[in-house]
Structure 1
């Protein structure tokens, strides 16, 4: 029973931390804020996580995001955009965790996490797909475009992009991705194949 209670408390703390860090950033969020939101004593944060930094690292980890590398290569960019536009990120205040982390970019640890997230999740996978010279530069340009989509949607809330779904962006995704990667890329994800694979498991 005590173990379940500890796990439940730890889960509540992570949920509260995700929302606080996403909305206010690292420096503006205090351990007491998170503890108060969770209805527990602040000392439990240090008992379960060791420090505010370790809590931030775990709270902003994207372990629950879809596996972007699974599926056809030509749909990779479409899958990436779908995680920004259509995926349910309610636990991160409705924003992709990367966009949420940008609010903490004044903090050195957060900057390192953002760099790692962008490079490991986006740039390397796109660079490996790119054909021709300047593959890394073109991969970074495409990554910047996708991060910009997330920022304009949730931080700036530009009207057209904030209302758009992945299907609305599909032709533009295909055009930009094809041009930058130098190979034919799809703007959509084949949902029928994904559903068929799920039925077989």
Structure 2
């Protein structure tokens, strides 16, 4: 027979169970979406990976689409836009190359969205994230004419680094760290932004 203390503890235990199950589903979804994209990933796949019934996805997230949105949303490292402006591009590249994205299948969440870019709303999310996180900051930093174009060219270069590392897995770039890329970061960033840029972040 349950005691008063047992009854008082039950809601807290149920809440912890719900939170743990939700966390497992998010982790499984991140891995699946990162590797296979939205269309190739089923609700049953995710639930099976998490070891729970597929109906819990709809209970906790509402739909596969809402789960995808949450699974591919990540805050940029807090120091991305902080620090010396001449190191901004190096910090951005570092989030792609050296940041620990283990919880997202080892890849920047943008890669998972790119694998699902056949969907219009996903394309809009990619454009918003790239523009607001990268392009706007680079455009404000650039000097001279055509700052928007040059900021987008530099952003395209950084996105390309992520794709070659994660999707194509080219050998040299896959093994490179930010320190290996530093002189090339400085050269490309300086040329496109029209001001001296560093390839290092320290």
Same fold (TM over 0.5): yes
Judge conservation of contact 1:27–1:107 (CA < 8 Å) in 2. no
**Residue number in structure 1 paired with 2:42:** 30
CA distance in 2, matches of 1:161, 1:66: 25
2:25 to 8, 13, 17: 13
| 1:95-147 residue CA offsets vs partner (Å, 9 max, x unmatched) | 11112221111122221111111111110111110111111100000000000
Q: Which runs of 5+ in 2 are unaligned?
A: 1-12
**Residue number in structure 2 paired with 1:198:** none
Aligned pair 1:178/2:190, yes or no?
yes
SS of alignment partner, residue 57 of structure 2: helix
Q: 1:61 and 1:50, CA in 2 relative to 1: closer, same or farther beyond 3 A?
A: same
CA distance in 1, matches of 2:76, 2:18: 21
2:108 to 86, 96, 101: 96
**Residue number in structure 1 paired with 2:57:** 45
SS of alignment partner, residue 74 of structure 2: coil
Q: Which runs of 5+ in 1 are unaligned?
A: 191-201
CA distance in 1, matches of 2:169, 2:44: 30
CA distance in 2, matches of 1:58, 1:70: 25
1:120 to 125, 132, 155: 132
Tell me the TM-score normalised to structure 1 length: 0.91
Judge conservation of contact 1:77–1:187 (CA < 8 Å) in 2. yes
Within a 5 Å distance, the mapping from 1:77-156 to structure 2 comes to 77-156=89-168
Judge conservation of contact 1:66–1:83 (CA < 8 Å) in 2. no
SS of alignment partner, residue 190 of structure 2: helix
Between structure 1 and structure 2, the one with the greater Rg is 2
CA RMSD in angstroms comes to 1.1
Q: 1:60 and 1:171, CA in 2 relative to 1: closer, same or farther beyond 3 A?
A: same
SS of alignment partner, residue 40 of structure 2: coil
1:69 to 81, 102, 127: 81
2:69 to 52, 57, 74: 57
CA distance in 2, matches of 1:82, 1:181: 18
Shift of 1:66: 4.0
CA distance in 1, matches of 2:133, 2:126: 10
Paired positions, count: 190
**Residue number in structure 1 paired with 2:10:** none
